[in-house]
Amino acid sequence: MTLYPLQFSPLFKYRIWGGEKLKTQLNKNYSEENIGESWEISDVEGDETKVVSGALQGKTLKDLISEYKGAFVGEKVYKEFGSDFPLLIKFIDAKTPLSIQVHPSNEIARERHNSFGKNEMWYVMQADNDAELIVGFDEEVSQADYKKHLENNTVLDVMHHETVKSGDTFYIPTGRVHAIGAGVLLAEIQQTSDITYRIYDYDRVDAKTGQKRDLHNDLAIDVLDYTVHDNYKTDYNIGKNEAHILVNSPYFKTNIIEVEGTLKRDHTALDSFVIYMCVEGDLELQYDDVNYTVKTGETILLPAAIPSVELKSSGAKCIEVFM
């Protein structure tokens, strides 16, 4: 069977901090309240997304990798990851702040949880006035200093708070403390992992459970990177019908593309699947004389065997994701 561009049915996740923007701004279709995450493309065990339409309808990523191997993910990707799909693609709406958290490295995650680590990136799609993110530390602290701040409930005082707007991009390597603040809607690209160590959760009680959520400070303390950086935000260029690098990491690579008119994208040299996340406007993707519409807040996956596609729009921005 010939592979074709694939769209998946998203999975909607209740979160204590979730709001309504995934529905009101990204037109997601769900009836529950406090939906904070839309998992667009997922191979997390128990949370596998399925193909929406066409001859491969209902197939999971595992099914596709099992059947098509390198033709689906790319030969080098298949050699490294086997039957595991390496990325998890999400849209996130924070009505109230997420917990202050950190993710373990590949090595620690493998040792403690038999999982990948969780290097990730954020692209802010919309932010309310004065909305902010927490990324990294603002001042040098030792592990002993950090423990004192935890005990005194002053840990937020030493973290870097950054007011954000649409288009702001952040790479969050494992070990970097972080949190999405209230009023932020963003696209997230990450390794396939659901391992999060919560450090601080504002003493909130989850209405669904009547309990405070667990903290993981014993696990987090030796994972944290206390290095202070001058700048945590990713600087990048953008131009019409050009692909500009957002993140170039060992775990995934992303470009930002502003499409106006028609743009041909040739992926023959990549040896990887390619994912497009539409973060602004509406995008049309053409392959083999078939048109696929990708609206704001939607994603599409191109198997590695697809050599090139045409992108068309009267004005759209998309993130191109590959290994």
Dist CA 154 CA 152 (whole Å): 5
Task: State how far the alpha carbon of 237 is from the alpha carbons of 11, 29, 163, 231, 298, in Å.
Answer: 32, 34, 20, 16, 23
Give yes or no for a contact between 271 and 75, defined as CB atoms under 8 angstroms apart. yes
178: annotated binding-site residue?
yes
Tokens of 95: 């009505």
DSSP string for residues in 169-225? EEEE-TT--EEEPTTEEEEEEEES----EEEE-TT-EETTTTEEPP--HHHHTTT--
Beta strands in 203-295, from DSSP E residues, in sequence order:
205-206, 211-212, 243-248, 253-266, 274-280, 283-287, 290-294
Among the listed residues 110, 198, 204, 213, the single catalytic one is: 198
Query: Using the 8-state DSSP alphabet, how is residue 233 labeled?
Result: B
Distances, alpha carbon 57 to alpha carbons 63, 210, 251, 293, in Å? 11, 39, 28, 17
Instruction: Confirm if 146 and 227 have CB atoms less than 8 A apart.
Output: no
In whole angstroms, what is the distance from residue 8 CA to residue 291 CA?
16
Whether 124 contacts 164, CB under 8 Å? yes
Instruction: Supply 225's token pair.
Output: 């990177």
Of 118, 68, 91, nearest to 10 by C-alpha is: 91
Is 140 annotated as a binding-site member?
Answer: no
Strand extents, DSSP E, 49-119: 50-51, 87-94, 100-102
The candidate with the shortest Cα–Cα distance to 263, out of 246, 244, 247, is 244
> Is 198 in the active site?
yes
Annotated binding site for Zn(2+), which residues? Answer: 103, 120, 178
Q: Which residues are catalytic?
A: 198
Annotated binding site, which residues? Answer: 103, 120, 178
